[in-house]
């Protein structure tokens, strides 16, 4: 079958026309590929990170070291996903030669934008896991894309913070918990680690 741009294209799930470099709080959810529990287990309502979970945790904590305009709010690494709030501060991002856009279009990253921060984070975690496990499976760690919610008020932000903090305690009922999938959907990828 030949390539047809009307049929064979990726659509962005980002809010059309929104400037993802704007100051504000962004609620982010990242999932592992095929919802595999790569990052540890929940035991008695508490998340216990394994070695790969600590990589995901430490690299999330390091985001402000690489993006000075980003501050971290609450976050949690779960067995097969991560929830976190990233806050873009009012600090302007210095322009670089060739910077002339503020909104992200597919395959054209915007420096300092939320999609660029997430792309960089996922790539860094994947690279570190591959180095430690002596693999090159770049697409076996993360599900493509990510969920984001642009926070618009303090009440909503507090609700999201509470949801994130309480997430490990609700793991037994969490729709991301593989115990909730029908057997036919519980596909596991054979990872070397």
Is the separation of the CB atoms in 139 and 33 below 8 Å? yes
**Cα torsion at 42, 44, 47, 51 (round to 10°)?**
-70
pLDDT for 59-105, tens place per residue?
999 999 999 999 999 999 999 999 999 999 976 555 555 555 444 44
pLDDT above 50: residue 11? no
Sequential DSSP letters for 76-131: EE-SSEEEEEEEE-SPPPPP-TT----S-BTTB--TT-HHHHHHHHHHHHHHHHHH
3-state secondary structure of 47: strand
Quote the mean pLDDT of the chain: 82
DSSP assignment, residue 66?
H
Domain range list for the chain:
24-91+109-171
The arrangement of secondary structure in 24-91+109-171, i.e. its CATH architecture, is 2-Layer Sandwich (3.30)
Q: For residue 175, name the pLDDT band (cuts at 50, 70, 90).
A: confident
Which of 87, 71, 78 has the alpha carbon at shortest distance from 30? 78
DSSP state of 134: T
* Residue 33 C-alpha from the chain's centroid: 12
Structure confidence at residue 7 (pLDDT): 56
* C-beta separation of 142 from 31 below 8 A: yes
CA distance 155 to 178: 31
pLDDT at 5: 56
**pLDDT tens string 95-146:** 555 555 444 444 567 888 999 999 999 999 999 999 988 887 666 899 988 9
* β-strands 40-43, 46-49 pairing: antiparallel
Q: Can you give the length of the chain in residues?
A: 193
* Per-residue tokens: 48: 């216990």
């Amino acid at each position: 079958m030949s390539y047809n741009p009307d049929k064979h294209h990726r659509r962005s799930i980002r809010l059309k026309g929104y400037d993802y470099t704007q100051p504000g709080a962004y609620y982010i959810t990242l999932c592992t590929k095929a919802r595999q529990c790569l990052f540890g287990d929940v035991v008695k309502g508490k998340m216990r990170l394994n070695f790969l979970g600590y990589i995901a945790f430490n690299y999330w904590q390091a985001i402000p070291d690489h993006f000075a305009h980003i501050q971290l709010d609450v976050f949690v690494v779960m067995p097969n996903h991560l929830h976190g709030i990233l806050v873009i501060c009012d600090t302007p991002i210095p322009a670089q030669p060739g910077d002339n856009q503020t909104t992200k279009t597919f395959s054209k990253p915007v420096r300092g934008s939320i999609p660029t921060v997430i792309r960089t984070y996922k790539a860094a975690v994947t690279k570190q896991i591959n180095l430690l496990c002596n693999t090159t499976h770049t697409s076996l760690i993360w599900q493509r894309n990510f969920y984001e919610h642009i926070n618009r008020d303090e009440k909503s932000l507090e609700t999201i913070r509470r949801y994130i903090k309480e997430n490990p305690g609700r793991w037994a009922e969490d729709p991301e918990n593989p115990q909730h999938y029908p057997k036919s959907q519980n596909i596991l990828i054979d990872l070397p680690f």
